[in-house]
Amino acid sequence: MIVIKNGKSFKCVFLSLLLILLSCFEQSVKADSVSDSDLHVVIVYSSETGKVTENIKLLDMLIGHFSPNMTFLPSSEIEEADLQDADVLFYYGEVVEVLPAKVGSLFDSFTKTKVALGYNVEYLGDDYDFIQFGDNVLINELVLVEGNKKNELGDRLIFQMKDLKEAEVLVKGAGNGKEYPLFIKKNELYYHASYQIDSLFSTYLGEVFHEVFKADHPEGHPAYLRLEDIHPLTDHTIMKEIADIFIEKEIPYIISVIPIYRNPETGDEYHFGDFPKLLEVLKYMQENGGRIILHGYTHQYKADETGEGFEFWDVDANMPITVPPDETPEKKQRSDFQTEDEYLAFLAKQKAFEVDYIKTKVTKGIQDLVSYGLIPYAFEAPHYTMSQSGYEILSEHFSTYIGQLQLGDRDWQIMAPAPYATSPTFLHGMNLLPETIGYVEPDNPHAIDEMMKKAEEMTVVRDGYIAGFYHPYLGVEKFKELIGRMEQIPNLQWIDLQQTSNVVQVDNITVTAEETEELSVNVEYFELLKDSPEFYNPKVKSTADNTMWLFALSAGGMVVLFVLYAVIIKIRRMRTEKGKYYG
């Protein structure tokens, strides 16, 4: 049940002033964090440039499940003070580096939980001395020791640890019929014998990190299916059939909605109001377990078709969007500028454009949906592409992000999910509900099998997400197969965005979903009329159309009546004349 509360349009003057003052400080939209603790985690890293890399972002995502309170420091910058209130200390050696002696002594003096991953563990003080390396070994399988859960992956080299005494092996790598320790534990000391933490490594790390953080999360797999790329031209009959399947199975689900369809040839834009039958189905869906999320505004940039194009990433230049679609972006380095100030000014200009671009799109998208009575709960970027500063902008509007995350501004193709819900620092407070098993690829006959294989992998993690998406244009049959297969996965818990904490906020509209409470949609109608009168377009248009039909109906009725009157007059006159004649 959706309740739309009328915004208090007329506030006292001082209240408005207070609001204006408050709005000067941009705040991110906060909802309850997915993690249940507030442990301070310090992560020291060695990377090629000393900057945060995609892999470090992956680590961020893995740890964010347990605590959002993280500090990332390059090995060259760590100071004693940084560890003062640390609860868990991480070291991640992505590249070979001779660590400063200070790092070793700091690690030595830190007596709580320590986790090391990758290279350079030999510099991490006396505690790690027990680890001795042999030649690297090739593996193609990971094994979770507890429960002997095995999954294959492509050939990977890992470090070979020799003579492990007193250490407990949590994860093993297997290859050529042999097994090698991969993730080990010695008291409060942990080590991952590879600099690789992506794909299946990430999944296995996700499980064993529960032990690192002593997080006794209950077994069970949160799951969702997302109907993808629903725009105004989507076939409403398929949507209705899918909706009824969900209803019959009592499964809540997610609908990724794009408010505008833009025809790439003509440039014409269509709204949901232009397709009332689809709109009706969408409303039916959201009243029956379907939860709408915003999936961009047009899902395109430049001349691309809606659903095909990238919206928040310039895919041609492979960089964030920094110019209007008809202009070519400038890709410049520091070396292109004489002074640092000029370079910073250049970056600031690009960033300013991007901020405005994303804010505008998101605001219009939300306003458009709400104007049709469609209530969004979260955001999913088209093709999961979003610049790092884009996530920060999004965090001012959404508390929940659905899908996978682009891990840096270097290349959009480097993206990943987390194995579980998480709140990494680069989401600035947003919770990620990851999509982990992919989608039904149109031309791949084994697509659903492959999805199920990924789902199987996710069961390694005690609370691993099993979530995928489906394009309704593929038809109802494939969908039935997919959902049927998913239902067979044991211990699945379908998530309902209505039952978790979600906040969506743009100018004059706030949507708040809370467990146990009714959805609240707060609209400042009066302010909207001033700022975004187009919000009222759907209402005005439907009123106008209804009135026109009323005109047509009454006019048609009167035309019939007038003809009837004329005939009556004629008949009466004929009768009286006859009467006269014969009378």
Which parts of this chain interact with another protein (CB under 8 A)? 268, 274, 541, 544-545, 547-549, 551-552, 554-556, 558-559, 561-563, 565-566, 569-570, 573
Q: Which is nearer to another protein, 231 or 383 (CB)?
A: 231
Query: Smallest distance, Å, CB 573 to another protein?
Result: 7
Report the nearest approach of another protein to the CB of residue 396 (Å). 32
**Kind of pairing, strands 41-46 and 88-93?**
parallel
**Cα 444 from Cα 453, distance rounded (Å):** 15
- Residue written as token pair 């001349």: 303
Please report how close the Cβ of residue 419 comes to another protein at its closest, in angstroms: 47
Which residues fall within 8 angstroms of residue 199, CB to CB, at 6 or more apart? 153, 416
Contact, 229 vs 294, CB < 8 A?
Answer: no
Q: Which one, 491 or 547, has the nearer CB to another protein?
A: 547
* DSSP states of 490-519: TTEEE--TTTS-EEEEETTEEEEE-TTS-E
Nearer Cβ to another protein (473/551): 551
Q: How far is the CB of 363 from another protein (least distance, A)?
A: 22
Write down the least CB distance from residue 581 to another protein, Å.
Answer: 15
In the complex with another protein, which residue's Cβ is closer, 19 or 544? 544
Q: How far is the CB of 368 from another protein (least distance, A)?
A: 16
CA angle 222, 224, 228 (to 5 degrees): 155
Please name the residue that has the structure tokens 């959805």: 519
Strands 70-74 and 189-192 turn out to be unpaired
Nearer Cβ to another protein, position 79 or 577? Answer: 577
Taking the C-alpha atoms of residue 441 and residue 75, their distance in angstroms, rounded to an integer, is 43
**Which parts of 67-141 fold into alpha helices (H)?**
101-109
Q: What phi, psi does 401 have (nearest 5°)?
A: -120, 135
Q: Phi, psi (5° rounding) for residue 502?
A: -140, 135
Q: Which is nearer to another protein, 109 or 576 (CB)?
A: 576
The CA distance from 512 to 481, in Å, is: 34
270 vs 353 by CB, closer to another protein: 270
Both tokens of residue 375? Answer: 């209530």
| Residue 545 beta carbon to another protein: minimum distance, rounded to whole angstroms | 7
- Non-local CB neighbours of 564 within 8 Å, separated by 6+ positions: none
- Supply the minimum distance, in Å, between the C-beta of residue 281 and another protein: 21
SS3 state of residue 376: strand
Instruction: Name the nearest CA neighbour of 486 among 225, 216, 140, 241.
Output: 225
How far apart, in Å, are the Cα atoms of 14 and each of 20, 22, 508, 526, 527?
10, 12, 18, 18, 17
Select 18 or 529, whichever has its Cβ closest to another protein. Answer: 529
96 or 567, CB closer to another protein?
567
What's the chain's length in residues? Answer: 583
Toward another protein, which CB reaches closer, 529 or 552? 552
Q: How far is the CB of 540 from another protein (least distance, A)?
A: 9
